[in-house]
Structure 1
Amino acid sequence: MALNRLFASLVITPNLIARRSVHVAAVNFASKPNIDKPKPGLGKSYRRIVHFPDEYTVKPLEVTNLAGRDPVSGRVIAKGIGGGIKHKFHWIDWVRDGPTEGPPQEEKVIQVLEDGCRTANIALVAVGDKLKYILATENMKAGDIIKSSRVLPRIPVRANEGDAYVLGALPSGTVVHSIEKEPGQGGLYIHAAGTFGTILRRQDDRIIVQMPSKRLFSFNQLCMAVVGRLSNIDHGDTPIGSPQRNRWLGNRPRSGLWQRKTGKHGRKIKPPKPVKEIHLPTQKSLPAIRMTLTKP
């Protein structure tokens, strides 16, 4: 299209454009094709690619670090990502399922450990003859027995920390996390370390929950939620301490070209302003009034 417009302009005004300029424009257009650079966000991670197997496993998964680059084109998308300590990825089972009638399902916490690919700690849980990873709560420890149930009772249940129930079964004021968007889809909301939501009230068959951002979300009463605050509550208050530790966390420093006191957006070094003399205001005498007896 750009070449067509260029040749059309040649037909209209042939004397204004030289042959050399046409050649340069054609070369520049051919050497710089219109490439759509992907934008960060939209659910894409430019930090790492996790190689998931076909079936769920508690074995640590292999990870390919991207360093802020697009995995297809190799172009740098996020400039602040790079380096960092290499971590294995632990596959979290987001679906806390339970029986729809009868007593709740009991699960035992085997171990609570740190995960380098997320802020909150994780817990290894045994359910029958299976093992799975879940997000650990603030006071969860090895040996705890947690419960899961999808029963919607007439009277709200008194749940303990780490238990998973439907939102309609929990009383107002309960602290929850890992809330489902739709029943059966798995915990989608509130995953970060030290965060929690609060059940405020019921509206018909909907449950109003205050999110960590203080916004109010309305969920289906059959959506599962885990009781308690997420672990590692000091994550947001812990200082980084040194540039090297920031590199360990996978944060790439700036280019170094920007300086505080120079450059277009830096603080300028300007000479001081001249001395300003302060004086009392001088009182000027009023002009004399001349009075005559003649008509103007």
Structure 2
Amino acid sequence: MKQQRKDAKRRVAESSMSARLGVATNTTSPFVRKDRQFKTYKPITRSIRWLRQPLNEHLHSGGPVRALTIAKRSTAGRNHHGRVTVRGRGGGHRRRIRLVDFYRWESGEQEVVRIEYDPGRSAHIALVQHKLTGAQSYILAPDGLRAGDTVQSYRQGIKGDAAKAATSTSNVVDEIVSSPDGTPLSTDPAAPQTAAAPGSASSSSLDLGIFRTQAIRPGNFLPLHLIPIGTTIHSITMHPLGPAKMVRSAGTFGQLVAFSARTGAGESHAQVRLQSGEVRLIPSTCCAAIGTVSNKDHQHRRLGKAGRSRWLGRRPKVRGVAMNACDHPHGGGRGKSKSNMHPRSIYGHLTKGARTRKPGTRGGNQMVVRERPRRNGKRLGKP
């Protein structure tokens, strides 16, 4: 019976998610347990009984590059008058802000030195180093990126004049898929490399196809009109010359749905489905990174105790029904009554169910093609 128990335990260990992914499951301590994609602890204290952290064996264990960080000066939710404008903030551990490059102007191949933890965001960041200049910078790490990989940005043709972006990016395509003497290469490996007819539609489509096979890789940064439909993207810019502002949190991704013309000058805008289910128009000269943002198990972690929330700079919250009537709209009364009113904030605004912005079809955001589905059950799954 003892041998049967050992064999059963061995079979469970071999069929676990960690064994399939190649992650080492050797316990560094008799109180640490690594099973599947999470790390748990033996509950020798109450604070670690429910603690659960994602397994990130590939993260760098040391500190960041000091030159790429600045000190974080916390305001504890107060404005320049010293009044509290955001409640529930204060304290926390000392942090240094990592200067992440959301512009990606530098062209050329960059090698991933390591993947690091960033205390200021939920996703992981990657330290990349240019192969020619040796310049280092931080970028958002997509899922699956590891040390030793190569990433590249194809945004350099857009800088200076957004109107000439299509021409400049086509020059980038010609530069990448051309032979040293300037003649475009063929897609058939068995066929000899001969020059195609200049200006022909077939040669341009072949060039674009070869370019996509080389450029559509996780971590690469390129304009939307060079990305095929259906590709998962993140770090999307909202302006052709601006930084990446959308789809930057852990585990999120957008999807390129279609191209549409708003001004009558060709496919000027791209339709992108965001993580909330909203489909919105983005200029096709804007750029995005390929892949899904890393640390997708961030939402499944458990802090385990209230002190860990204090380390993150979160102060305790008090329920509105526990306050007096002069302090909150739900306060006062006998028992746990909120006076038969809809849930409201401390300032009297509706908390649940109220629209946060106008619909795009009635004088609102004209860039929204389809609104995000409302999750309260009334409009679930409907546009």
Select 2:250's aligned residue among 181, 193, 197. Answer: 193
Listed as ranges, the gaps of 5+ residues in structure 1 are: 1-56, 100-104, 269-296
Kept in 2: contact 1:58–1:132 (CA 8 A):
no
Distance of 2:334 and 2:238 partners within structure 1: 44
Residue 171 of structure 1 and its aligned partner are, at CA, apart by 0.7
Residue 207 of structure 1 and its aligned partner are, at CA, apart by 1.2
Q: TM-score, normalised by structure 2?
A: 0.50
Counterpart amino acid of 1:124?
L
Aligned to 1:11: none
Q: 1:106 to 1:257 in 2, by over 3 A?
A: closer
Q: RMSD of the alignment, in Å?
A: 2.3
Select 1:211's aligned residue among 271, 274, 289. Answer: 274
Kept in 2: contact 1:58–1:91 (CA 8 A):
no
Aligned to 2:307: 244
Residue 160 of structure 1 and its aligned partner are, at CA, apart by 0.9
Deviations 1:144-186 (A, max 9, x none): 1112214245435131111111111111110101111121212
Q: Secondary structure at the match of 2:293?
A: coil
The number of aligned residues is: 205
Aligned to 1:176: 233
Select 1:126's aligned residue among 129, 144, 167. Answer: 129
Kept in 2: contact 1:96–1:224 (CA 8 A):
no
Distance of 1:91 and 1:265 partners within structure 2: 52
Select 1:142's aligned residue among 141, 147, 158. Answer: 147
Select 1:117's aligned residue among 115, 120, 144. Answer: 120
Deviations 1:112-154 (A, max 9, x none): 1011111111111112321111111111111111122142454
Aligned to 2:103: 95
Distance of 1:85 and 1:120 partners within structure 2: 18
Q: Whose radius of gyration is greater, 1 or 2? A: 1
Aligned to 1:253: 316
Residue 265 of structure 1 and its aligned partner are, at CA, apart by 7.8
Residue 86 of structure 1 and its aligned partner are, at CA, apart by 1.4
Identity percentage of aligned residues: 31
Aligned to 2:259: 202
Residue 258 of structure 1 and its aligned partner are, at CA, apart by 6.0
Q: TM-score, normalised by structure 1?
A: 0.64
Distance of 2:334 and 2:105 partners within structure 1: 54
Distance of 2:227 and 2:123 partners within structure 1: 24
Q: 1:192 to 1:265 in 2, by over 3 A?
A: farther
Distance of 1:259 and 1:75 partners within structure 2: 23
Kept in 2: contact 1:123–1:136 (CA 8 A):
yes
Kept in 2: contact 1:67–1:81 (CA 8 A):
yes
Distance of 2:254 and 2:67 partners within structure 1: 28
Distance of 2:316 and 2:284 partners within structure 1: 46
Kept in 1: contact 2:233–2:291 (CA 8 A):
yes
Aligned to 1:164: 221
Distance of 1:65 and 1:119 partners within structure 2: 18
Residue 255 of structure 1 and its aligned partner are, at CA, apart by 4.9
Q: Which runs of 4+ in 1 moved over 3 A?
A: 255-260, 262-266
Deviations 1:35-66 (A, max 9, x none): xxxxxxxxxxxxxxxxxxxxxx8432111111
Deviations 1:73-127 (A, max 9, x none): 111111111121111111111112256xxxxx21111111011111111111112
